[in-house]
Amino acid sequence: QVQLVESGGGLVQAGGSLSLSCAASGRTVSYYAMGWFRQAPGKEREFVAAISGGAGTTNYADSVKGRFSIRRDNAKNTLYLQMNSLKPEDTAVYYCATRNGYSSSGTYSAPVSYSYWGQGTQVTVSS
């Protein structure tokens, strides 16, 4: 049974930083592609960042490129999202996700590509 548990959200001022964690059980983060998504009130869930299994290839949405960084800690079986230079428009519930099937270098930006989701963690950026 795959479980993903996000943590690290909170309230931060614009320009600040937050680090989100996604602890995985029943799934080896180094083997499967994983991703971060976010959903603001009244909006669709949108892609933020992804990392492949194996090689750890990364991919970012244009809106967060240069500010956010996705990484994984294989020993802790945990996925992270480091968010710097936060903006009010980054306010959303952030979700981590993983998919079935090994991918050595592929990253996936469509929510339908993922099979398992965490419960989400709220990030609020004040202006």
Q: Please, which residues bridge with residue 11 across strands?
A: 124
Q: Residue 15 has what pLDDT? A: 98
Q: In what order do the strands lie in the sheet with 3-7?
A: 3-7, 18-25, 78-83, 68-73
Name 16's Cβ contacts closer than 8 Å, sequence gap at least 6: 86, 125
The number of beta carbons lying within 10 Å of the beta carbon of residue 2 is: 13
Residue 103 has pLDDT above 80, yes or no: no
The predicted-structure confidence for 10-69, as pLDDT tens digits, reads as follows 999 999 999 999 999 998 899 999 999 999 999 999 999 999 998 899 999 999 999 999
What is the 8-class DSSP label of residue 55?
T
Letter string b/e over residues 9-43, b meaning 16 or more CB atoms within 10 A of that residue's CB: beebeeeeebebbbbbeebebeebbbbbbbeeeee
Q: Please, which residues bridge with residue 105 across strands?
A: none
Q: What's the rounded Cα separation, in Å, for the pair 116 and 68?
A: 22
Q: Residue 87 has what pLDDT? A: 98
Q: Which of 39, 56, 32 is nearest to 90 (CA)?
A: 39
The predicted-structure confidence for 4-13, as pLDDT tens digits, reads as follows 999 999 999 9
